[in-house]
Amino acid sequence: MNLLITGSAGFIGSHLVERFLAEGHTLVGVDNYISGQRRNTELFLAHPGFRFIQADVSHGLPYGGPGLDWVLHFASPASPPHYQQHPIETLMVGAQGTQHALDLAHRHGAKFMLASTSEVYGDPHVHPQPETYWGNVNPNGPRSCYDEAKRYAEAITMAYHHHKGLDTRIIRIFNTYGPRMRADDGRVVTNFINQALEGKPLTVYGDGSQTRSFQFVDDLVEGIVRLMQVTYHQPVNLGNPDEYSILQFAQIIRDRINPTLNIVFEPMPQDDPKQRKPDITIARELLEWQPQTDLSTGITATIAYFQPSLTR
C-alpha cells in the first residue's frame, strides 16, 4: 500500500511509520514540527519507502505523488500544555487540517482514518466511557481548543462518509505513552519519569485522586492496523482499561526510579477530567483486540528511552 500520515514526526505518528515500513508499505510523512521532533523523521529518512514533506496541513496538503490507499490524519498538538500554548493552530488543524486530509483522500479514492481522542468525552459523567456517550465538554474553557476541534473533526469525517461516500475510520485514543514522546511535552508520564530521573520531586496536580488509564503505544498501533482491515465507520475506543489514580501512578514511577523522592501537590488545572477509562467492548469484539502490555513492561521501555536522553 501507499500511505500518507500527517503528524509523522510526532510520538504516535513515528510508531505508525515504523510499523508500516516494516510491513513493506511505502509512506509519505507530513509534519510542521509544531509539537513533533526532527529526530523522529531522521530515523526513517534513509529508508527507500519513506518520503517526508514539511508542511502545515492546516494550509493544505502539497502531495503530488502516486495514488494513495490510505490517508491517516494524526497531526495535532496533543499534550495539554502544547495545545493550550497553540490554541488557534490546534483548532485549525482539527478543522481545516482535517478537511484538507479528507479532500486528499477523496481525490485519490483512498481510505481515511481520523485520530480522535477520549477528550471528546470531556469530564465524563459516565464511567467507563463507551463510544455511545456524548460527553461533557466545556465549549470555551482552556481545553476546548482541543476537545471541540476533535469533535468537529469527527463531525466532518462522518459528513464526508455520508455525503461523499468516503471510506472512513475514527479512533478515540485514550492516554498513550512510550518511547519517542517529547521529554518536555508536559504530559503526566513524561513529567513523572523525567522528574524522577533528574532526582526532582514529582508534581501531582490537585490531590491526585483523578484517574487515567495508560496504554502502551505498541498496543495502540496494533489496534489501528486491525481497524484498517475491517469496514466500520463509527468511532472506536482504543485504550487500556487498567485505571490508576494520578497519586498511585506517581508512587509507581517514584518507586521504580528513586523511592526517596518527594511527591509535591500543585494546583489542579481548570476542567481537568476527574476520571477516564475506556470501555473497549467494540474493539474487543470487532478487532479481537485488547492491550497486551502491562504498565510495568511499558514503563520499563519508556524509562529506558528517556534515561540515555539525559546525557545526550
> Annotated catalytic sites, by residue?
146
Closest CA to 252 of 299, 194, 215: 299
Around Cβ 154, how many Cβ atoms within 10 Å? 20
Chosen from ligand UDP, ligand NAD, none, partner binding at 57 (C-beta under 5 to 8 Å by type): ligand NAD
Instruction: For the CB of residue 161, give the shortest distance to ligand NAD in the complex, in Å.
Output: 19
Residue with cell 471541540: 148
Chosen from ligand UDP, ligand NAD, none, partner binding at 80 (C-beta under 5 to 8 Å by type): ligand UDP
Around Cβ 117, how many Cβ atoms within 10 Å? 23
Count of helix runs (H) and strand runs (E) in the chain? 11, 13
Instruction: For the CB of residue 92, give the shortest distance to ligand UDP in the complex, in Å.
Output: 20
Distance CA 306, CA 234 (A): 36
Residues that bind ligand UDP (CB under 6 A): 79-80, 175, 187-188, 191, 203-205, 210, 212, 246, 269, 272
Instruction: For the CB of residue 57, give the shortest distance to ligand NAD in the complex, in Å.
Output: 4
Cβ distance to ligand NAD smaller for residue 91 or 261: 91
Cβ distance to ligand NAD smaller for residue 32 or 210: 32
CB 92 within 8 A of CB 85: no
Instruction: For the CB of residue 258, give the shortest distance to ligand NAD in the complex, in Å.
Output: 25
Chosen from ligand UDP, ligand NAD, none, partner binding at 124 (C-beta under 5 to 8 Å by type): none
Cell digits of residue 93? 488543524
Cβ distance to ligand UDP smaller for residue 182 or 233: 182
Cβ distance to ligand NAD smaller for residue 173 or 283: 173
Cβ distance to ligand NAD smaller for residue 12 or 204: 12
Strand 2-6 versus strand 235-238 pairing type: unpaired
Instruction: For the CB of residue 182, give the shortest distance to ligand UDP in the complex, in Å.
Output: 12
Phi and psi at 235, nearest 5°, equal -60, 145
Closest CA to 43 of 236, 311, 295, 305: 305
Residues that bind ligand NAD (CB under 6 A): 6-7, 9-13, 30-36, 56-58, 74-78, 93, 97, 115, 117, 173, 175-176
Cell digits of residue 213? 488509564
